[in-house]
Structure 1
Amino acid sequence: MSVRLWCLRHAESENVVTRTSGAVPHAELTPRGRDQAAEAGRRLRGAGITHVYASSAVRAATTAEIVAGTLGLTTTLLPELAEVGLGRAEGSQDAGVRARTAEVLRAWVVDGALDEAVADGEDGHAVTGRVAAALAGIAARHDGGVVAVVGHVASLTAGLAVLCGLGGLGGRVWGAPLPHAEPFAVEGDGTAWHCGSWPAECLM
């Protein structure tokens, strides 16, 4: 069983512009974000993609719908791909919360310290576990196929850090956060995964 995933962070959204932290499930795409999503769809033409999956957050679902529309495909929403939940800090625009969120994500990705969490939000075990389950389910449904997966900067990075061993690359991955709507390939069988490249930073 093997599958190729074209993964991408959702396109630019309102919560990014307003610097709002957390899962923020109802944040919409900006006009620029809609253009980014359409461009991602055009870039993925010819990749052999047969289906598009996405987090159920509005910004990810809308990105997926635009990509899928460009490719003539349908989408499936997976809540397991949601952004990291921050508990009582959810929706904060405080700089201290943003700093703590970055600190926690770095601990997960670089140090493998999955016990860390922001406030009473999700720890790394919860986040990486649900992302891994979502990707394993996709692999089981698309053996030998190619699909697109639209996620979020923190949960997608944390999940792939564990699944692909990105944490061993330390600051190379940490210093290159996922840009909006830039696809990159991940291959695996639902258990073992390989990420050959990272947007803005080659992993070779």
Structure 2
Amino acid sequence: MSSRDSILKAVKNNKPELLPLPEIDLDVFNEDINLLETFIKSVELVGGRAKVLNSISDLDNEIKALYPNAKQIVSSVKESDFGTVSISKDTDPHSLETIDLAIIQGEFGVAENGAVWISENDFSIRVLPFITNDLILVISKDAICLHLHDAYKLISKRERTFGLFVAGPSKTADIEQCLVIGAHGAVSLTVMVV
């Protein structure tokens, strides 16, 4: 018997008993708050920007005002005509390194932390939200849940595809407390709430 096999056998033989997950009364987390207002404050707290639009038809004008110098734009939001670069599942992800702006449909937002759930059903190249210089996520004001407990209930019913929560622009800090924005992804995040 190899060392690897003996280690795996020892681990298997000494596996602890499975414990049931704790029962959590989710009602204790419910608050009577304005979800939209709390969501906007949370987005700003994590370094993003949130804009409430009167109508989806205002989307392109708002984007043009916020990002007048963006040239290479990918949009997966069907109501936006602002995209200048077309992508598909066959697009080489390396070809996206010059993308200035990505506009992606979000499924819902979380008031608790300002996160927005996006899935590959709404953008065909997984690297898109990370490789773009600036990121815009579009959500409905009716698609904001209170906290992550509600959010996990929503995503538990989905098909098991790639998805993630995005909260604020990419940022990292080292031990010397030097904050770097855009280190691992977008330099800015704007959430358009329609």
TM-score clears 0.5: no
TM-score range, shorter chain: under 0.3
Give the TM-score of the pair, scaled to structure 1: 0.26
- Larger RCO of the pair (alpha carbons < 8 Å, separation 6+): 1
Give the TM-score of the pair, scaled to structure 2: 0.27
More helix by share: 1
Q: Which has the larger radius of gyration?
A: 2
